[in-house]
Chains A and B, each alone.
Chain A
């Protein structure tokens, strides 16, 4: 099936540093999502993005978070500055259309903030 890639697979950084998580979505998809999963907890929606804009975000999407997809390249999640509670697995997903609800997920980026 369609593949979503995420780079890097693992990232360890010191608290206060900036981190950028990269997602290479399915090529013809138009909607992009980030989800966060803390170890042992359920996956939670962070944000979705369409046509260069954030469409909806959850309360987990703090002011330190930002997303963008410059020139159709990677869809990125930037955290600046990072905090200890940002340690989690971050999953990127993409879908073809809002009416097409199938979201295809990447393998996740495991972020550890020390």
Chain B
């Protein structure tokens, strides 16, 4: 059973549109949710993150909306640019003394057409 799920698997938007990437999770003990951006041939890079005490986190064109009751979150990318074309991973973790291992979703491949 996948602990973290993402949808859609792939998404295409036009330049300037808002891309919406969805994520859901099973384990209610997860309390930290980073989104990673990955370009081909590179490792994932942290884009933006949110803790479960918040319901929204904004950083420039990137916004996370978090619904703890429904165990869902979404990443909104406004004014999408061709340079945003990448794979986006939603991840989740529980902070503990052993170190925050991340549980990843399957990713959403975003294509932004000029």
Separation of A99 and B98 alpha carbons in the complex (Å): 10
Q: Are B104 and A98 in contact (CB under 8 A)?
A: no
Shortest C-beta distance, A5 to chain B (Å), equals 10
Which residues does chain B contribute within 8 Å of A107, judged by CB atoms?
41-43
Q: Which residues of B contact A93 (CB under 8 A)?
A: 43
The answer to whether A76 has its CB under 8 Å from any CB of chain B is: no
Question: Which residue of A4, A31, A95 is within 8 Å of B43 (Cβ)?
Answer: A4
Interface residue ranges of A21-36 to B (CB < 8 Å): 31, 33, 35
Q: Give A contacts to B, CB under 8 Å.
A: 1, 4, 6, 31, 33, 35, 41-45, 48, 50, 55-56, 58, 91, 93, 95, 98-99, 101-108
CB distance from A43 to the nearest CB of B (A): 4
Q: Given known contacts A42-B104, A42-B105, A42-B107, is B98 in contact with A98 (CB within 8 Å)?
A: yes
> Do A99 and B95 touch (CB < 8 A)?
yes
User: Given A42-B105, A43-B104 in contact, is the A105-B44 Cβ separation under 8 Å?
Assistant: yes
CA distance A69 to B57 in the complex (A): 36
In the bound complex, CA of A101 to CA of B101 (Å) = 9
A31 touching B99 by the CB < 8 A rule? yes
Residues of B within 8 A of A (CB): 2, 4, 32, 34, 36, 41-46, 49, 89, 93, 95-107
Task: Kindly state the separation between the CA atoms of A56 and B45 in the bound complex, as whole angstroms.
Answer: 23
Contact A108/B100 with A99-B95, A101-B34 known, Cβ cut-off 8 Å: no
Q: How far is the CB of A97 from chain B (nearest CB, A)?
A: 9
Residue of chain B at shortest CB distance from A49: B99
Compute how far the CA of A16 lies from the CA of B62 in the bound complex, rounded to whole angstroms: 46
The docked-state distance in angstroms from the alpha carbon of A56 to that of B97 is 10
